[in-house]
A and B are shown apart, each in its own frame.
Chain A
Amino acid sequence: DQQVKQNSPSLSVQEGRISILNCDYTNSMFDYFLWYKKYPAEGPTFLISISSIKDKNEDGRFTVFLNKSAKHLSLHIVPSQPGDSAVYFCAASANAGGTSYGKLTFGQGTILTVHP
């Protein structure tokens, strides 16, 4: 049962344009969402997160949007740069009992390629 889905295996964007990566979830208990970026031969690196009490969070070129009614979140990268080329994972957590966010449920990932 895939509780977090990234339906686009890959995305190709021109440098300077906007990249939009999408993620859908089914578990209504999820209350914290994160995006991670992964380069080959490296572990995932945290990018940005959002709590379910918000619908938008910005950090520099990265913005995450959360639509709770649609159980959908998206990551916008503006402007896209060739160095952004990587695999992007969406992850979700249900913070039951106030424990730390160790148990993350990940999507399958989207390969982003930004062309110069």
Chain B
Amino acid sequence: DAGVTQSPTHLIKTRGQQVTLRCSPKSGHDTVSWYQQALGQGPQFIFQYYEEEERQRGNFPDRFSGHQFPNYSSELNVNALLLGDSALYLCASSFGYSPLHFGNGTRLTVT
């Protein structure tokens, strides 16, 4: 049973560019949440998707957007990249009140 899978594992982008990160949830999970983890910090909540809609959002600008597909997979898009967007981006899936299951993340470097 595959857990949460994220792609790509690493990515290097230039300031001002746009990036799309992808996530496939654990089998049986229908809710996907995205987190940003800066170096030396805990993960910070970006937003959560359920039934293809954004259900909750953290304190992130509109440059961060997402999408959930009918098969529950999800994408995180970041426009107009800034140097400060360099971080590990974690996707987590859940079903009902189950604890979040995290993927191994995508390491984004903005130069």
Binding site for B on A (CB under 8 A): 4, 6, 34, 36, 41-46, 49, 89, 91, 99-109
- For A105, list chain B residues within 8 Å (CB): 45
A49–B97 alpha-carbon span in the complex (Å)? 12
- The B51-110 residues at the A interface (CB cut-off 8 A) are 55-56, 58, 90, 92, 94-105
Residue from the list B35, B43, B55 in contact with A99, Cβ < 8 A: B55
- For B48, list chain A residues within 8 Å (CB): 100, 102-103
Say whether B90 contacts A103, CB under 8 Å.
no
Say whether B97 contacts A103, CB under 8 Å.
no
Known A-B contacts A42-B104, A43-B103; the reply to A102 vs B55 at CB < 8 A is yes
- For B50, list chain A residues within 8 Å (CB): 100, 102
A36–B99 alpha-carbon span in the complex (Å)? 10
Say whether A100 contacts B45, CB under 8 Å.
no
New contact pairs (16) apart from A34-B99, A108-B41, CB-CB < 8 Å: A43-B90, A43-B92, A43-B103, A43-B105, A44-B90, A46-B99, A49-B99, A89-B43, A99-B56, A101-B94, A101-B97, A102-B50, A102-B55, A102-B100, A104-B43, A108-B40
A108–B37 alpha-carbon span in the complex (Å)? 10
Known A-B contacts A89-B42, A99-B56, A102-B55; the reply to A41 vs B99 at CB < 8 A is no
Which residue of A6, A42, A103 has the most chain B CB atoms within 10 A of its CB atom?
A103
Say whether A102 contacts B4, CB under 8 Å.
no
- For A45, list chain B residues within 8 Å (CB): 102
- For A109, list chain B residues within 8 Å (CB): 41-42
The residue in chain A whose Cβ has the minimal distance to the Cβ of B55 is A99
A95–B50 alpha-carbon span in the complex (Å)? 16
The residue in chain B whose Cβ has the minimal distance to the Cβ of A98 is B97
- The B17-55 residues at the A interface (CB cut-off 8 A) are 31, 33, 35, 40-45, 48, 50, 55
